[in-house]
Amino acid sequence: MISRDIDTQIGSFYNLSDSKIYSFNLSKEASESFCCGSSSQGYLIMANRKGGNFLYNPFNQNTINLPQQFMPPKDIAKKWTKKDYPSYLRKAVICSQTPNKELYILALGSNARVIETCKPHDTEWSVFGADMEEDEDEYEDEEEIMNRYLRQQNNTIPDEVIQDDEENKWLFLDLLLYKGMLYGLTVATTLVCFELHDSSNPLGCKELNMLPKGRVIKRRIIYGDYLVESGEELLMVHRIRSFVNNGDGAKYTTIKFSVYRLHQTNDLFEWVEVQSLGNQMLFLGRNTSISVSTDDIPGLKGNCIYFIDDMWPYFAFGIDSVPSLLDNGVFYLDDGHIEKFYTPSDSDLIKSQPFWITPSAIQDVKL
């Protein structure tokens, strides 16, 4: 796991194997930016509030500029001025699985209905989506996501409400490259599969024929879903947080996880709950999620989920938000109990978004 301090320009590892913190220098640009993804090539995908994006290797300081990301028109952006809501990337992945081995970046930005793509050194992003032809305000859904969260903070939603899967089926939560295809997970837990050919043409896509999975949304409960590849399987991890706002700020705590694998029968797909991960460990974060075998990291136990803070207020309100590593821990699937793996002191409260990185990703690469 890595985090960084904007004042000292120091990045930090917290090594799970020995429970020690290791530090290294960061460039000024990297210390002021947010990590919205990482890659097996050792590069981090960085974005900042000024719209700048770049690939960054924290170990050799190599930087590769990406196009300034798409920003909403000023009349739309004014809706978010109360909290200075930015439009930087929320999640990004690096892809080199096209037929011509072209490397490019795929990302989720301010419009949760579209995928943004570019190649290193491009001058602009291309924007593709599953419902680009629909005649509607494409920024409304991102605003509604934030408004829904704020309504939860103010306790203004009913005790229970059935999730509207039809309304949410094109709002993307996560992206994952899996077996040469790009999968987008929606708020309705459906999957949209994108064909990867080259970044100069629109991404062909299809919605998988999923069994309906309506959920009961409860007050003071916050839900989140993640895509992870584990072994040869595509997993969806469902995270449940309790939420309390007692006047001194919002506090949320992860209380449970459920894991599902994608199962196919003929042309019908469904999420089937997984009871055990075997010797696999899942490391979850909104910017990157990975699966690692205990054979690769001695001393750690399998069949568990390591998790970190990745709530919307951080991405919306930036570096000066509340400490962002208070809700962390290990969830054990065998009995459902949770243990914290890191307890920050008053002197090292982290107010930047942490993310996961594995030893195999620490290597040099030329793009």
Can you tell me the distance from the alpha carbon of 340 to that of 328, in angstroms, rounded to the nearest whole number? 6
pLDDT at position 335: 96
Is residue 367 pLDDT above 70, yes or no?
A: no
Look at the block and give the residue holding tokens 């990867």.
196
From edge to edge, which strands make up the β-sheet containing 280-284?
A: 290-293, 280-284, 304-307, 329-332, 338-339
Confidence band, pLDDT 50/70/90 cuts, at residue 338: very high
The secondary structure of residue 212, as a DSSP letter, is: P
- Structure tokens that stand for 220 in this block: 């003071």
Q: Is residue 315 part of a domain?
A: yes
Look at the block and give the residue holding tokens 């919605």.
207
Nearest to 325 by CA among 307, 304, 338, 312: 307
What pairs with residue 25 in β-bridges?
Answer: 10
Can you tell me the distance from the alpha carbon of 134 to that of 121, in angstroms, rounded to the nearest whole number? 31
- Separation in Å, CA 231 to CA 90, 136, 237, 294, 298: 26, 40, 15, 13, 18
Can you tell me the distance from the alpha carbon of 126 to that of 189, in angstroms, rounded to the nearest whole number? 25
**φ and ψ at 261, to 5 degrees?**
-110, 150
Number of domains in the chain: 1
Phi-psi region at 78: left, alpha or beta (left = phi > 0; alpha = psi -120 to 50): alpha
Average pLDDT over residues 9-19: 80
- Domain residues for the domain of 100 are 2-358
Confidence band, pLDDT 50/70/90 cuts, at residue 171: confident
| Bridge-based pairing state of the strands 191-194 and 216-218 | unpaired
Look at the block and give the residue holding tokens 């929320």.
90
Average pLDDT over residues 296-317: 77
Percent of the chain whose pLDDT exceeds 90: 18
Burial of 153: CB neighbours in 10 Å, binned 0-12, 13-18, 19+: middle
Q: Is residue 108 part of a domain?
A: yes
pLDDT at position 39: 67
- Structure tokens that stand for 75 in this block: 């009349």
What pairs with residue 116 in β-bridges?
Answer: 107, 127
Confidence band, pLDDT 50/70/90 cuts, at residue 77: very low
What are the DSSP E strand ranges found in 72-203?
91-95, 104-108, 114-118, 126-129, 160-162, 172-178, 181-186, 191-194
Q: Is residue 234 part of a domain?
A: yes
Least confident of 34-38, 296-300, 319-323: 319-323
Confidence band, pLDDT 50/70/90 cuts, at residue 94: confident
- Separation in Å, CA 58 to CA 6, 33, 43, 74, 162: 14, 13, 8, 34, 44
Q: Is residue 85 part of a domain?
A: yes
Confidence band, pLDDT 50/70/90 cuts, at residue 227: very high
Q: Is residue 146 part of a domain?
A: yes
Q: Is residue 367 part of a domain?
A: no
Q: pTM here?
A: 0.81
Q: Is residue 90 part of a domain?
A: yes
Counting every residue, how long is the chain?
Answer: 367
Q: Is residue 364 part of a domain?
A: no
- Which amino acid belongs to residue 266? N
Pick the residue with more confidence: 3 or 118? Answer: 118
